[in-house]
Amino acid sequence: MPSSSNEERIEEHRACLAGIAEEGRALFAEIGNLLSEVDEHLLTSDDVLYYAQPPMDGKLGVRFWRRHRADRIEPVVVVWHKNQKGRFWPEEVYGYLSQRVCRRGAFEVNAEVTAETVVIVDKLLAMRKSLTLLLYRTRQSVNSLKTHHKPVLDYQKKRLAELQVTSRKNLDSLYGESDEQEMA
């Protein structure tokens, strides 16, 4: 039979666990807010790049594209190319962004502004990747725990119930026999 002190302790523990759940919600909200802030800075960076460079071949920018999942967009750095009909089309740029900054001709005027903005974009992209990876890993860890621990907990619950029934039967038979012997 559980003691009252155990009941009190478990209630305190449950209150503590409720606090952990609230803390987890707050942490996820904070990560979401940080991601949103990074995205805002990337949009601002795209504006700076748009006005700092002339509308010519080689102009850099930031675009949010649907990549691996249809419900998720991710920012990428693009370089704009002009086709023979005079239309621009973006091509994704991978790595070494500062080396992509065009510093000649009409680009020369704001080359330093563009270069510094690209460095900021590179840092923001790294920060965003870190935050999204943290979210992904946390979700995967929780899902893994649910997948692997829940069946074990369900089995243990079932087995404890069976053991409790067996224990009561054994005690009833023991006390039932001694009561019959005392009456005889």
Q: Which of 97, 90, 28 is nearest to 64 (CA)?
A: 90
pLDDT computed for residue 64 by the predictor: 92
pLDDT above 80 (res 71): no
Mean pLDDT, rounded, for 12-30: 83
Q: With bands split at pLDDT 50, 70 and 90, how would you rate the model's confidence at 4?
A: low
The type of residue at 90 is: P
User: Structure tokens of 147?
Assistant: 């997948």
Q: Alpha carbon 100 to chain centroid distance?
A: 31
pLDDT above 60 (res 51): yes
User: Structure tokens of 54?
Assistant: 């002339």
Mean pLDDT, rounded, for 154-176: 86
User: Structure tokens of 81?
Assistant: 């190319």
pLDDT above 60 (res 160): yes
Alpha helices in 53-110 (DSSP H): none
Mean pLDDT, rounded, for 29-45: 94
pLDDT above 60 (res 109): yes
Domain boundaries, the chain: 4-183
Q: What are phi and psi of 102, to 5 degrees?
A: -80, 130
Q: Which of 23-27, 55-59, 88-92, 143-147 is the least confident region?
A: 143-147
pLDDT computed for residue 179 by the predictor: 54
Percent share of the chain, pLDDT over 90? 32
